[in-house]
Amino acid sequence: MVPEMTDCVSNNPLSAQDSVLLENQVCFPLYSASNAVIRTYRPLLDKLDLTYSQYLVMMVLWESDGVSVKDVGARLYLDSGTLTPLLKRLEGKGLVERGRSEQDERVRVLKLTEAGVLLKTQALTVPAEMKCKIKLDLDELLLLKKLCEKVISTLEK
Amino acid sequence: MVPEMTDCVSNNPLSAQDSVLLENQVCFPLYSASNAVIRTYRPLLDKLDLTYSQYLVMMVLWESDGVSVKDVGARLYLDSGTLTPLLKRLEGKGLVERGRSEQDERVRVLKLTEAGVLLKTQALTVPAEMKCKIKLDLDELLLLKKLCEKVISTLEK
DNA sequence: CTCTATTCAATTGCACACAATACAAATGAG
DNA sequence: CTCATTTGTATTGTGTGCAATTGAATAGAG
């Protein structure tokens, strides 16, 4: 057993047996909350004919149109295996054009269509509707955000 | 616009335009953190030949063997569309038997095999290894857990 | 300037999540 | 007791996530 692991184990106040009780997991609530949030977004995003992942990609493009697949992936922590088919669906809906960079032929340059730009208008009410459903104080929301970001920055290294 | 929604909107300190900035989303870090955690579990669970979802199901069964598909679903907030194929895979690995209740023929009774019971021994080190990788204080972990549980209890109603 | 290494995206394969639907077993109102 | 309703699983179809592999384009070492 590596030293760091031993340290971690020794700091764990739970017995080994109790450690695999669902009740004592932190990651399970995180996973369930994420699932629950995506489920809750669904009826809101159905009006825009977007899935949650597609909505995330659209947010990136509304913010910085003309970026590459890699850029979107870096922003959303998703790889081309996830993004390529997703972007093809957005292209199929007429929201995005998947062009090529002139400097580097390998790079896909993602450009919003007029419909893609216009969809932002319909999306503006979504965050407020979601905030309404989730019923957490602003303090709690910001704290949750900060803790999740800390988890991400630790694990993404 | 429904009244409750108006209330939520008016409490939102962000402009409508800023509301769809990725930076201002709470759910995105939650979603990314959940993905990052599952990715981090992968190499640990590969040793047990389990996916994260399968690991969750096994934890339920280690805790309460002999329950039904519905019981597992209620515990993990998952439905039969997710659980049926997952349980068939666990059955295929020889970890679980998918029997029938004698009282009610519709009910699948899930019973751990000897191998399924024994796998718990190998799983005992996983939580400590994970805690080591996630590098959060116990305080932060408990706070994150509590906030996620609050999100779940609000959205699952 | 050539050849190798790296990079960006696409593809493939597997395992979820989940809505929608189907279906058989059990329940219950009349 | 009977049949409509409810309940517990299973099935189907769509859309992710992600590892692994491939392939083409570029960059870099010599």
The pLDDT, as a whole number, for residue A1 is: 41
Asked whether residue B18 is domain-assigned, the answer is no
Is residue A76 assigned to a domain?
yes
Among B15, B151, B22, B20, which Cα is nearest to A149's?
B22
Nucleotide nearest to A77 (CA to C1'): D17
Percent of chain B with pLDDT strictly greater than 90:
83
pLDDT for the residue numbered A41: 97
Domain assignment present for A143: no
Of B75, B136, B148, nearest to A29 by CB-CB distance is B148
Residue A93 counted as domain residue: yes
Confirm whether A132 is domain-assigned.
no
In a domain, B34, yes or no: yes
Residues in a beta bridge with B99: B109
pLDDT value for B10: 53
Task: Give the total residue count for chain A.
Answer: 157
pLDDT of residue B21: 84
Which 3 state secondary structure label does DSSP give A135? Answer: coil
Determine contact, residues B95/A57, Cβ cutoff 8 Å. Answer: no
pLDDT at A5: 43
Q: Please list, in sequence order, all residues whose beta carbon lies within 8 angstroms of the beta carbon of residue A58, skipping any fewer than 6 positions away.
A: A50, A90, A95, A116, A119, A120, A123
Q: What is the distance between the alpha carbons of residues B69 and B132, in angstroms, rounded to a whole number?
A: 32
CATH of the domain at B60: 1.10.10.10
User: Is the C-beta of residue A82 closer than 7 Å to nucleic acid chain D?
Assistant: yes
Task: Give the mean model confidence (pLDDT) for residues B133-153.
Answer: 96
Question: Which residues of chain A fall short of a pLDDT of 50?
Answer: 1-6
Task: Flag whether B156 is in a domain.
Answer: no
**pLDDT, position B13:** 59
Would you place residue B8 in the very low, low, confident or very high pLDDT band (cuts 50, 70, 90)? low
Q: For residue A104, is it within any domain? A: yes
Q: What is the pLDDT of residue A2?
A: 40
Task: Give me the domain span that covers residue A59.
Answer: 25-123
| Interface subset of B 106-125, CB within 8 angstroms of A | 120, 123-125
- Residue B135 phi, psi (nearest 5): 50, 45
pLDDT score recorded for residue A157: 77
Mean pLDDT value across chain B: 91
In chain A, the number of structural domains is: 1
